[in-house]
Amino acid sequence: MPGSWELKQNNAVLVAILHTDTTSIAWALGLRNLIVPGQIIALAGMPFDHARNVAAMRALESRAEYLFFLDSDVVPPHNTILRLLAHNKPIISALYCRRSPPAGVPVMIKNGMWVTQFPPNAVIEVDLVGAGCLLIHRQILEKLPPSRPEHGKHWFDWKVDMAGILPPSECLSEDFSFCLNVKKHLGIPILVDTSIQCRHIGFSEAGYGTLQPCEARPAT
C-alpha cells in the first residue's frame, strides 16, 4: 500500500498531521507503518494554533470519535493509536522528547517543571503535554469553552507572545494552553503513556536523555 494503512470503523479516529517544514524519509517510513483506525488529513502552511483548530472543526464535522494529532517530525511506534485507544481515556499522549534546549527532555510539564523522572511502562498524570502525538475524545472538543473565538481560536490558542498581558504561567504554546483549559474548565486529567516512546526527528533525533543525528529506519 502506498501509505499508512487505514481501517474503516464506526469508532473512527481522525488523524490530523501538522506539517511546517520538510518531511524526512524517517518520518515518512513511520507514517507508512502506522496503523490508522480511521482517516488522515494533512494541514500545512498555517500557524500551529490555527491548524489545530481547523483539525478540531473537521473532527467534529466528521463521525470520528477521536482526534489524533501527529506532527510531521514525530515518529510513533506503528501501533500507537491502538494502544492509546485501549486506555479509553478522554485525553492521552504518547511520550516524545524535545529537540530544542533542554534537549532529550520529555515534552510534558508537572508543577511548572519539565518531567524528567517517571515510571516506565505506566500511565502518568501531568499538567501540560505537547500535541505532537496526542489522542483527544470528541466530547472534550464539544464541551470545552472557547478560548478567544473572536480570533478564531476556539480550542487552541498560541499565547507565548502575550507576556505582560497574561500571567507568565498562561503565556503558553497552543497545545499547553489547550491542556490548561481542559483541566481548568472540564477537570479532566492530562495523561501520558510512558510505554509508548516516539522519535522526535529533524536533522537531529531526540530520545529520552539523548540527542543524535537522525537515522532512517524501515520499521518503527
Q: pLDDT tens for residues 157-189? A: 998 888 778 788 788 899 999 999 999 999 999
Lowest average pLDDT, out of 21-25, 124-128, 190-194, goes to: 21-25
Instruction: Evaluate whether 87 touches 149 at the Cβ level (below 8 Å).
Output: no
Q: Is residue 218 in a domain?
A: no
**Domain count for the chain:** 1
Q: What is the CATH number of the domain that holds 154?
A: 3.90.550.40
Strand, helix or coil for residue 114: strand
Q: Is the pTM of this model over 0.75?
A: yes
The pLDDT, as a whole number, for residue 50 is 93
The pLDDT, as a whole number, for residue 95 is 98
- The fraction of the chain above a pLDDT of 90, given in percent, is 67
Q: Is residue 122 in a domain?
A: yes
| Residues contacting 4, CB < 8 A, separation 6+ | 31, 32, 33, 34, 35, 36, 40
Q: Is residue 156 in a domain?
A: yes
- Check whether 129 has a pLDDT greater than 80: yes
How is residue 159 annotated by DSSP? -
Strand, helix or coil for residue 40: strand
More confident residue, 169 or 131: 131
How is residue 146 annotated by DSSP? P
Domain span at residue 172 reads 13-213
DSSP calls for 47-80:
-HHHHHHHHHHHHHHSS-SEEEEEETTEE--TTH
Q: Is residue 66 in a domain?
A: yes
Q: Is the peptide bond before 2 cis (omega within 30 degrees of 0)?
A: no
pLDDT band (50, 70, 90) for residue 2: very low
